[in-house]
Structure 1
Amino acid sequence: MTKFEAFKNKEKFLQDNSQFFPGISNPKLKPILTEKINLSADDFKVLADKGTATDEEYQDAIKKGLDRFADIYIDLDTEDRQRICLYYEELMDIVALESSGGHLNNFMYGFAPTKILIIKGKH
């Protein structure tokens, strides 16, 4: 079994004290969130099977996957969003991707730290 299949087969959004995750805030969302995460695993597998995927292609897959949560984003609490990001980090680890290109920060906090401009006042 591939690492992607193992990822897809494990039960998700359970309480995990090692990650300080109390469990899904709304149990009705669990199958919906699981399906969306597993679709991202499929996206990553397609790229990995290609054998020549770039970091940018994986980052685009992360953005595409996170966009799938737009319809229920407002129903997610902070811990749910953090857990989603941790699942993406697991997928990134499978393919040795070091950066999400800011997409995880954007999903979690509404901005990517690399996009922040610091404006200094005149002295």
Structure 2
Amino acid sequence: MKTPENANEKFVEFIAKKKFYSENHSPNISDEKLRPILTEKINEVATDFKQIAESEKPTDEKYQEAIRIGLLKFPEMELGYDSEDRERILLYFQEIMDIVGLQSSNGKLNDFYYGFDPNTVNKKN
């Protein structure tokens, strides 16, 4: 994969911006106490992506592993966030993926949100 020229600048902007506030029709975070925790965790994911992007050979596999590890930072039951919070987390993951031009999480984001990837479920007729 080729890292976009402006990726470093976009990572800096992403990490610096306020997160988990009401924006673009998204509601505020369900529990104010979660905001700094979730912000720190999503910024860690962005930092991991930034390091891959700055490496000599950024690959889809490295980004996929960063997504897998990043999602493990958000244990749903332990933190107690709701589906809207999970959706916001995924939107931030997608924003991070867009910075480097990564097209797919290979079902990892669906697994996180739904508990499975609905694109891979066999449908019986």
Instruction: Give the TM-score normalised by structure 1.
Output: 0.88
Residue aligning to 2:17: 10
Aligned-partner SS, 2:33: helix
Aligned-pair CA distance for 1:8: 0.5
Distance 1:25 1:118 in 2: 34
Q: CA RMSD in A?
A: 1.4
SS at match of 1:115: coil
| Alignment-derived partner of residue 61 in structure 1 | 66
Aligned length: 116
Instruction: List, as ranges, runs of 4+ consecutive aligned residues in structure 1 with deviation greater than 2 Å.
Output: 117-120
> What corresponds to 1:26 in structure 2?
31
Which structure: greater helix fraction? Answer: 1
Range that drifts further, 50-59 or 95-104: 50-59
Q: CA deviation at 1:102?
A: 0.6
**Distance in 1 (alpha carbons) for counterparts of 2:70 and 2:87:** 15
Q: Following the alignment from structure 1 to structure 2, what is the Cα–Cα distance between the partners of residues 115 and 68?
A: 24
Report deviation, 1:56: 2.0
Percent of aligned pairs with the same amino acid:
50
Larger RCO of the pair (alpha carbons < 8 Å, separation 6+): 2
What's the counterpart of residue 41 of structure 1? 46
Shift of 1:119: 4.7
| Residue matched to 1:107 | 112
Match of 1:79 in 2: 84
**In the alignment, residue 7 of structure 1 is paired with which amino acid?**
F
Deviation, 1:68, is 0.6
Read off the aligned partner of 2:26 and give its amino acid letter: F
- The structure number with the bigger radius of gyration is 1
